[in-house]
Amino acid sequence: MSNELITKGKQAKSVSRKLSLLSSQQKNDGLTAVAEALVERENEILEANKKDLKNAKEKGITGALYDRLTLTHDRIVGIAEGLRTLINLEDPIGEVLWMKKRPNGLNLGQKRVPLGVIGIIYEARPNVTVDAFGLCFKTGNAVILRGGSEAIYANTKIVEVIQHALESVELPSNAVQLLEDTSRETATKMMQLNEYIDVLIPRGGAGLIQAVVNNSTIPVIETGVGNCHVYIDSDADINMAINVAYNAKTQRPGVCNSCESILIHKEVLDQVVPPLINKLKEKDVEIRGDEAIKKYSDTIIDASEEDWGTEYLDYIVSMKSVDSLEEAINHIDQYGTKHSEAIITNNYEKSNRFLEEVDAAAVYVNASTRFTDGFEFGFGAEIGISTQKLHARGPMGLKELTTTKYIVYGNGQIK
């Protein structure tokens, strides 16, 4: 196994014990120092980023990927601001969730503690480097980052800035470490570094997440893939239905909580489909529909079986007529990714059935799926959106980066 991995793994494990004992004040001082340093040393970071951008151009990287890789003055200020917002959030570490006296006199409590060492594997977004550090540091965790090779210059510089800033306020710089070796082989080995890493969080596209799930022997928090539906029921308020479906699809199509598929009860097709098509055309949304939907416009493309299961992350939507709530729920069960699902209805019974029977991280009645987000949910921060069921489900804030331990006060109890 690579020396770098083992060295950094050991250092992370060793420093995690120190981090777990830091006071909230110390952690906030660290965040402040880092936020200030990022802005002060902006030019160095932008210089490093230029090298990444030059390499990216040579590799033919363009469009959204190039944009995500790009740092600017405004973006660095925004990243530093993001760190500062963490300062005002309550530190979850040390909270005793409950304590009770057992019949034998033992005082038994459950206390919130850091996870220990968190590994984060992500793609070409240098802002994640700061973000992930901030969330892990605030929660007393050490973090090992493995970013994409495309961002290696910016990431290396940013981590150097963070480490230096932590040292300047006498905090352990190894709280954050970046893997310099960005090979796929080393990433795979990192996924099996159970001795030093407690939890692995992949942040990126479906391919990256799948690779981590398949290869990791470390517990993983799976994030992100969202094939989200809006189901427009026969008892829907038609205007509301059109507004919500339009918003869920077009307000920001590139994110996981955007709508990819609209299901419409057959009884309201005439009322819903024509105005909805018109509205979606305002933003040039490509519509792929079944036979019933296609009747409403020549511009609608045939939806294939594959379409129902596709997360477009683009100005494309699939649209399907359904005979009943039952069919809508079954369709979601078959093709959904258990992320965010919405029903539009004024029917009490059907709204309850949808909330009960749809198996997803977030289930909505009469609202856009776009609200599934740590900030919208009031957590003040977000490390990602879990689409699995263990540990955390839905938007993950600071609490989701913690675990608990039982603390037991006795006076000689034996069994």
Residues that bind a copy of itself (CB under 8 A): 17, 20-21, 100, 102, 106, 108, 113, 115-116, 194, 198-199, 213-214, 217, 219-221, 237, 240, 243-244, 247-248, 251, 333, 355-357, 359-368, 370-372, 376-378, 388-391, 393-394, 403-415
How far, in Å, CA of 125 to CA of 138, rounded?
21
Is 139 in contact with 93 (CB distance < 8 Å)?
yes
How far, in Å, CA of 70 to CA of 68, rounded?
5
Q: How far is the CB of 215 from a copy of itself (least distance, A)?
A: 9
Looking at the Cβ atoms of 50 and 111, the one nearer to a copy of itself is 111
Residue 283, number of CB atoms within 10 A of its CB: 12
What is the crossing angle of helices 73-87 and 42-58, to 10°? 120
Looking at the Cβ atoms of 290 and 327, the one nearer to a copy of itself is 327
How far, in Å, CA of 230 to CA of 241, rounded?
9
Q: How far is the CB of 306 from a copy of itself (least distance, A)?
A: 17
Q: How far is the CB of 388 from a copy of itself (least distance, A)?
A: 6
Supply the DSSP string of 115-134, one letter for each residue. -SEEEEEE-S-HHHHHHHHH
Looking at the Cβ atoms of 289 and 374, the one nearer to a copy of itself is 374
Alpha helices in 283-337 (DSSP H): 291-294, 305-308, 325-335
Looking at the Cβ atoms of 296 and 379, the one nearer to a copy of itself is 379
How far, in Å, CA of 36 to CA of 57, rounded?
31
Q: How far is the CB of 283 from a copy of itself (least distance, A)?
A: 14
Q: How far is the CB of 202 from a copy of itself (least distance, A)?
A: 13
Looking at the Cβ atoms of 184 and 415, the one nearer to a copy of itself is 415
Looking at the Cβ atoms of 130 and 329, the one nearer to a copy of itself is 329
Supply the DSSP string of 63-121, one letter for each residue. HHHHHHH---HHHHHHHHHHHHHHHTSPP-TT-EEEEEE-TTS-EEEEEEEE-SEEEEE
Q: How far is the CB of 79 from a copy of itself (least distance, A)?
A: 23
Q: How far is the CB of 220 from a copy of itself (least distance, A)?
A: 7
Looking at the Cβ atoms of 87 and 213, the one nearer to a copy of itself is 213
Looking at the Cβ atoms of 3 and 334, the one nearer to a copy of itself is 334
Looking at the Cβ atoms of 321 and 386, the one nearer to a copy of itself is 386
Q: How far is the CB of 22 from a copy of itself (least distance, A)?
A: 11
Instruction: Report in angstroms the alpha-carbon separations of 101 from 22, 97, 395, 406, 415.
Output: 29, 14, 34, 13, 16
Q: How far is the CB of 69 from a copy of itself (least distance, A)?
A: 26
Q: What angle do CA 194, 199, 200 make, to 5 degrees?
A: 95
Give the DSSP letter of residue 41: T
Residue 231, number of CB atoms within 10 A of its CB: 28
Helix (H, G, I), strand (E, B) or coil at 396: strand
Q: Which amino acid is at 258?
A: S
